[in-house]
Structure 1
Amino acid sequence: MQNERIDLLASKFLDGSATEAEKAELHAWYDEWKDDELVVVTELPGNEEAVKERILSGILQAMKPDEQIPVAPVRSLRRYWKAAAAAVLLLIAGAGTYLAVKKDALPEQTIASDGLYRNDVAPGKDIATLQLADGSVINLADSIQPGLQQGNASLNKEEEGLLVYTAPSSLKNEAASVSYNTISTPNGGEFKIVLSDGSKVWLNAASSLRFPAAFTGKERNVELSGEAYFEIAHNASQPFTVTAAGTTTRVLGTHFNIKAYNDEEDVTTTLLEGSVRMETGQQQKNLTPGQQALIRNGAKKIDVSAADVDDAVAWKNGYFTFRNENIRDIMRRISRWYDVRVTYEAGVEASAFGGTFSRTKSLKQLLKSLEITNTIHFKIEGKNVTVMP
């Protein structure tokens, strides 16, 4: 029954006869299953009718690889659409085209190797290195000595992808000597760490965190490069600060995400719970939950705006989320997670793409999903990806 209802709503949307209530019902429907499905969004040059024709033809060709389906007016393709309506949904909204495809909608043969995909690349995993206070480096993919001492703290690898520090609570307000450690993830890696105060930090790929093995004194200070999500243990007498790319985030106890990669123009801090104060140069601004602070690298201005907090922490929850981003920005994030090098052929358009993709997918599966829009193509050779028009 639900498939018939979605079929009807999708057809009305394509016809332009859907009411606002029916459009809202469609959006609510795909929001409900997007964790289990593949969602693709794209903006293309040309009018909306041309967009419909181009994308729908690409979808149908992927679903029927042995059948030649020309790019034709949508009304001529309607007989194909009827069979695909339960698996494919096109939503035209303003200048954007939203496409939702169930992850099992495309048969396995549609992602088989072909001339442009000579091999595949596995997604990233829990890998990192830990530099100790004496300069020695531990590969966290290996087992480590239980209860390894670092100054006044001990550390243990409690499970794959999780490192835990513990220290006596009596140290928190003492001016004791500090042993600094640095945990670093490579391209294709992520890791979680529990600091000695109980604060939790998730590190994204190509990121590092420098921190004291045990917090002492009046503040808890760490330094970030790259991206991390923080859940800070509350301690009003010992504020927590994160320094990243010339910015400082001050908190007492809260949940927030910071992205501060050296190869990106912006430093962004997104607040999920609690409150934080952003500082750069002489400027300071407070954030409330649901807000994001943006600071251009090298600038001293803090811009605060409403944020989609789910998008900000999608990586932590196992997803890529793109929102009207150009292909170079998208591929920068993809290259970090899959540890690949990316080059571009002449003629690649500056169309804006977006959507939600599982980070557990192989690289080929992700790129095939982008290709279904018929606007861009990819070639994988070893650890090299070529983007083609």
Structure 2
Amino acid sequence: MALTREQLEELYNKYIQNNCTHQECEALINELGASPEEGMEEEVISRLFNATWEGLDVFPGKYQLPEPVRPQETAYETPVIEMYAVKKRWMRIAAAAAILLIVGTAAFWLVRTRETDLPATPGATVRDISPGGNKAILTLADNSTIILDSAADGQLAQQGNSQVIKTKSGELVYEAASQKAGNPFTIDHSPLTYNTLRTPRGGQYQLVLPDGSKVWLNAASAITYPTAFPGKERVIKIDGEAYLEVAHDAGKPFKVEAYGTRVEVLGTRFNVHAYSDEGSIKTTLVEGRVKVVKRETSNVKENSVILQPGQQAVLAGSHSSLTVDHSPDIEEVLAWKNGLFRFTNADIETVMKQVERWYDVEVVYEGPKPEGHFRGKISRNVMASEMLKIIEASGVKCTIKNKKIIIMK
């Protein structure tokens, strides 16, 4: 090992502060590119990179370590950063070193250590922004509301024949008397009432419906549902995004209504993406079988499609017909539910829409919107500055100012 432990740590810290000279940068890159057989002290490098690459994994086959050159003299070809898990940590480290060269000076932002305060501009206070969490408001049948993130665990209300319970794990559960008797599908003759669970920007929540169906609600979303399911069908409404695991009942179909579409199922797992501020509605089937119906409008007749697992129904607008994507990226669709941001050739607007909802911020573009696409994944449980490193690594400048993120090409 050419450098001592202390020298390596000193150089690395100087690099992430953008204070390395050309010679120091070469020495650091040479050390990062060394293999374990050549004596590289993996423990030191691993600890340093783990401190700054939290949530990021790199796919080493994409890059080869080039000869050391000045980072500012090396241009990237396309604003894409790929991050995938590998088993050998030293390979991740070598790939990271290559990326430092490939993306040029923007790499400083990619590996910069986590900060609670970002560099301030004169006359403005700039703070980092915390990620979202379990936040939601429950509106009961009488229009009274309960803020769930501050409510105590245990029974919150009685709605018709169902107890509304907040569990220790943070779920909202509707427990009907028939469930206690062991039959969740017993007909409830009490008056039908509706509740609405709504997450703010920066919020998410989990819900168990009276029939035992499970719902994961994404940020800036709402679900309206009856507090019991009498009759011949189970109908709920969704605004925003939700993932559902529907309890099977062949005699009582489950239906989801969302902005002019209806999803009909018996028992299945699927995701509905139906935000009012986006141009398309997408229903993605993970397991089972569903029928997606586009309601008739003045310009378009009603049409429907039947999805098989791994397919996605897309409604591009109210005046369009349903189409089927036979090979959507399921991992990308479900990333939010699994606690991740994950992008596959996403443009800047797609990425920043998710950032807006999860961090509860306003995104402003100064000048033309940056071109190019992004690939990668990172935990949703990171500060906004960490998330923005993916964007900044492509040469796009991002500034956090209060509750606003400013994007400059």
Per the shorter chain, which TM-score range?
0.7 to 0.9
Other-structure match for 1:231: 245
Superposition pairs of residues 114-263 of structure 1, within 5 angstroms: 114-115=119-120, 118-144=126-152, 146=155, 148-167=157-176, 168=178, 169=183, 172-174=186-188, 176-263=190-277
Deviation at 1:160, TM superposition (A): 4.7
Deviation at 1:341, TM superposition (A): 0.7
Q: Please give the TM-score of this superposition, normalised by the length of structure 1.
A: 0.74
Other-structure match for 2:369: 348
Amino acid at match of 1:291: Q
Other-structure match for 2:71: 69
Say if 1:245 and 1:297, in contact at 8 Å, map to a contact too: no
Give the total of aligned pairs. 320
The answer to whether the aligner puts 1:327 opposite 2:348 as a matched pair is yes
- 1:44-84 superposed Cα distances (whole Å, 9 cap, x missing partner): xxxxxxxx99xx99xx99xxxxxx7322379xxxxxxx996
The answer to whether the aligner puts 1:370 opposite 2:384 as a matched pair is no
- SS of the residue corresponding to residue 219 of structure 2 reads coil
Q: Please give the TM-score of this superposition, normalised by the length of structure 2.
A: 0.71
Say if 1:250 and 1:276, in contact at 8 Å, map to a contact too: yes
Amino acid at match of 1:296: A
Other-structure match for 2:313: 293
- 1:276-324 superposed Cα distances (whole Å, 9 cap, x missing partner): 0000122111100000000023134111112221111100001111222
Say if 2:284 and 2:310, in contact at 8 Å, map to a contact too: yes
Label 1:135 to 1:83 Cα distance change in 2 as closer, same or farther (>3 A): closer
Spell out structure 1 runs of 4+ moving beyond 4 A. Answer: 6-9, 109-112
Label 1:273 to 1:8 Cα distance change in 2 as closer, same or farther (>3 A): farther
Amino acid at match of 1:277: K
Say if 1:132 and 1:182, in contact at 8 Å, map to a contact too: yes
Label 1:136 to 1:39 Cα distance change in 2 as closer, same or farther (>3 A): farther
Determine the C-alpha separation between the residues in 1 that align with 2:386 and 2:236.
37
Say if 1:176 and 1:216, in contact at 8 Å, map to a contact too: no
Amino acid at match of 1:119: R
Superposition pairs of residues 75-94 of structure 1, within 5 angstroms: 85-88=94-97
Say if 2:58 and 2:96, in contact at 8 Å, map to a contact too: no
Which 5+ residue runs of structure 1 have no aligned equivalent? 1-5, 10-33, 41-51, 62-67, 75-81, 91-96, 99-104
Say if 2:222 and 2:240, in contact at 8 Å, map to a contact too: yes
Determine the C-alpha separation between the residues in 1 that align with 2:94 and 2:117.
24
Determine the C-alpha separation between the residues in 2 that align with 1:227 and 1:109.
30
Amino acid at match of 2:234: R
Label 1:312 to 1:120 Cα distance change in 2 as closer, same or farther (>3 A): same
Say if 1:161 and 1:190, in contact at 8 Å, map to a contact too: no
Deviation at 1:238, TM superposition (A): 0.7
- SS of the residue corresponding to residue 311 of structure 1 reads helix
Other-structure match for 1:37: 56
Deviation at 1:232, TM superposition (A): 0.4
Say if 1:39 and 1:357, in contact at 8 Å, map to a contact too: no
The answer to whether the aligner puts 1:106 opposite 2:111 as a matched pair is yes
- SS of the residue corresponding to residue 310 of structure 1 reads helix
Higher radius of gyration, 1 or 2: 2
The answer to whether the aligner puts 1:318 opposite 2:339 as a matched pair is yes
Say if 2:192 and 2:228, in contact at 8 Å, map to a contact too: yes
Q: Structure 1 stretch 222-231 or stretch 281-290: which is displaced more?
A: 281-290
Label 1:313 to 1:133 Cα distance change in 2 as closer, same or farther (>3 A): same
Determine the C-alpha separation between the residues in 2 that align with 1:378 and 1:38.
22
The answer to whether the aligner puts 1:380 opposite 2:394 as a matched pair is no
Identity %: 37
- 1:196-238 superposed Cα distances (whole Å, 9 cap, x missing partner): 1110000000000000111111001100000000000101011
Say if 1:200 and 1:230, in contact at 8 Å, map to a contact too: yes
- SS of the residue corresponding to residue 167 of structure 2 reads strand
Label 1:346 to 1:300 Cα distance change in 2 as closer, same or farther (>3 A): closer
Determine the C-alpha separation between the residues in 1 that align with 2:388 and 2:352.
10
Amino acid at match of 1:252: L
RMSD between aligned residues: 3.4
